[in-house]
Chains A and B, each alone.
Chain A
Amino acid sequence: MDFRHFFDSKKISFIAIFAVLTTFSVAKATTYAAPDTAAATGYEAHADEEFEPTKVIMEHISDAHDWHLWGHTSIPLPVILYTDKGFEFFLSSAFHHGEHDHPGKHYTYRLVDKKKIKVVNAAGAVDEEASKNVWDFSITKNVASMFLSVIVLLLIFTSVARAYKRREGKAPKGLQSFLEPIILFVRDDIARPNIGHGYARFMPLLLTIFFFIWVNNLLGLIPIFPGAANVTGNIAVTFVLALIVLIVVNVNGNKYYWKHILMPDVPWWLYPIMIPVELVGVISKPFALMIRLFANITAGHIIILSLISLIFVFKSLAIAPVSLAFVLFMNVLELLVAALQAFIFTLLTALFIGMAVEEHH
């Protein structure tokens, strides 16, 4: 079935944006109803606590069940659990930032360490045995942020694709002239030199990888609401990206590729060493892709957050301008890294595909 007509009308895109914004604002309104007294006492409790940079930083770069806005206000996100007794749906505001347990349909749940949802038994203790049967499919902060980036990408690329259809043969205009050089760069500098003949088949994959990583990196750099999720710095996300590369490379590998792995041009008695090494090479290439993207983006976030933490570690206002200047510098550097990592991931993907589809030997 052809779904293209869904994206054809400009009206639909505006409705989509409007719907997303309304959903978020409605959800926001619900948090305001949270008791103010708790917030007031919460601040006092924070003042007594020793500031622990490691804890704060790890909290900021990890996934969460709510999207933090400011102070004690955050957008609750839906929690979807699959238990041995069936599905369970509720909003994460039911936990009150982990202060309350939520009595669900099948079990009572508790939010442990702001991340893991565990089952609580009648005595009020965490039941580890029962928690093993609970599968968490929640829309977490990272998932919500990925939805947002997908909406952004769809809006940009459907409008640009429409412009190409409407203005065929004419000079590009507006968003078109911003994206055309980037797309041509991916084609002429990444795909064609590394894959060679038959590169066109892989262009959709390479462009999707490039723009998905780039947009998510940039969204992660925005310190306030629509960004601030560490999507490409989450190892699960980069794992799936690397898994896609692994599958594409090996499915498209021709007989020369497999001969190089299973029957390399070495004396036969070296086979017991060479074949395991080559097989490890098949896995280790995407594995390095996964670690590279994850570590780069996470390291960038950690550096920025550490520089901010300096202010609170020294408890001094004088350090703030220095720290802020460094944060600004790092943030600008991260803008470069965001594009560079998207480029490297795409380039290495193209390189691996090129090695797998190479004809002559």
Chain B
Amino acid sequence: MVGSIAAIGAGLAVIGAGLGIGQVGGKAMEGIARQPEAASKIQTAMIIAAALIEGAALFAIVVSLMGL
């Protein structure tokens, strides 16, 4: 039972991370389309932001791993 709830928790964490990284990626695409010459700077900032969002999601994943 605990394992199943942990799996639901992991799924919820992934929803959050997916929304967040989707936003970051989409906005970065828009930014690059507007200003292609700033592509490399936008890309670096995008990866940092994505990594930070992913970090928050991974905290949740680790917690649900402990419940598994």
A54 to B68 alpha-carbon distance, docked (Å): 8
- Asked whether, in the complex, the Cβ of B61 is within 8 Å of the Cβ of A295, the reply is yes
A111 to B47 alpha-carbon distance, docked (Å): 44
Q: A189-B44, A344-B51, A348-B48 are in contact. Are A291 and B59 (CB under 8 A)?
A: yes
Q: A292-B58, A295-B58, A295-B61 are in contact. Are A193 and B44 (CB under 8 A)?
A: yes
Check if A288 is an interface residue, CB within 8 A of chain B. Answer: yes
Size bracket, chain B contacts: 10 to 19
CB distance from B68 to the nearest CB of A (A): 6
Check if A131 is an interface residue, CB within 8 A of chain B. Answer: no
- Asked whether, in the complex, the Cβ of B51 is within 8 Å of the Cβ of A348, the reply is yes
Contacts of B55 in A (CB 8 A): 288, 291-292
A224 to B68 alpha-carbon distance, docked (Å): 27
Check if B19 is an interface residue, CB within 8 A of chain A. Answer: no
CB distance from A81 to the nearest CB of B (A): 28
Task: Find the B residue at minimum CB distance from A302.
Answer: B65
Check if A299 is an interface residue, CB within 8 A of chain B. Answer: yes
A288 to B55 alpha-carbon distance, docked (Å): 6
- Asked whether, in the complex, the Cβ of B62 is within 8 Å of the Cβ of A295, the reply is yes
- Asked whether, in the complex, the Cβ of A347 is within 8 Å of the Cβ of B48, the reply is yes
Q: A54-B3, A54-B68 are in contact. Are A296 and B48 (CB under 8 A)?
A: no
Contacts of B44 in A (CB 8 A): 189, 193, 347
A343 to B46 alpha-carbon distance, docked (Å): 13
Check if A351 is an interface residue, CB within 8 A of chain B. Answer: yes
A81 to B65 alpha-carbon distance, docked (Å): 30
Task: Find the B residue at minimum CB distance from A343.
Answer: B47
Contacts of A351 in B (CB 8 A): 48
- Asked whether, in the complex, the Cβ of A292 is within 8 Å of the Cβ of B68, the reply is no
Please encode chain A, from 265 to 305, with 1 for each CB lying within 8 Å of some chain B CB and 0 for all others.
00000000000000000000000100110111011000000
A343 to B44 alpha-carbon distance, docked (Å): 11
Contacts of A299 in B (CB 8 A): 58, 61
Contacts of A347 in B (CB 8 A): 44, 47-48, 51
A292 to B54 alpha-carbon distance, docked (Å): 8
Contacts of A344 in B (CB 8 A): 47, 51
Contacts of A54 in B (CB 8 A): 3, 68
CB distance from B31 to the nearest CB of A (A): 17
Task: Find the A residue at minimum CB distance from B60.
Answer: A295
Contacts of A348 in B (CB 8 A): 48, 51
Interface residues of A in 133-151 (CB under 8 A from B): none
Interface residues of B in 3-51 (CB under 8 A from A): 3, 40, 44, 47-48, 51
Task: Find the A residue at minimum CB distance from B56.
Answer: A288
A283 to B37 alpha-carbon distance, docked (Å): 37
* B interface residues with partner A (beta carbon < 8 Å): 3, 40, 44, 47-48, 51-52, 54-55, 58-59, 61-62, 65, 68
| A-B complex: 10 closest residue pairs judged by Cβ atoms | A295-B58, A288-B55, A344-B51, A292-B55, A295-B62, A295-B61, A291-B58, A292-B58, A291-B59, A291-B62
* A interface residues with partner B (beta carbon < 8 Å): 54, 189, 193, 288, 291-292, 294-296, 298-299, 343-344, 347-348, 351
Given contacts A288-B55, A291-B58, 8 further A-B contacts (CB under 8 A): A54-B3, A292-B51, A292-B55, A292-B58, A298-B65, A343-B47, A347-B47, A347-B48
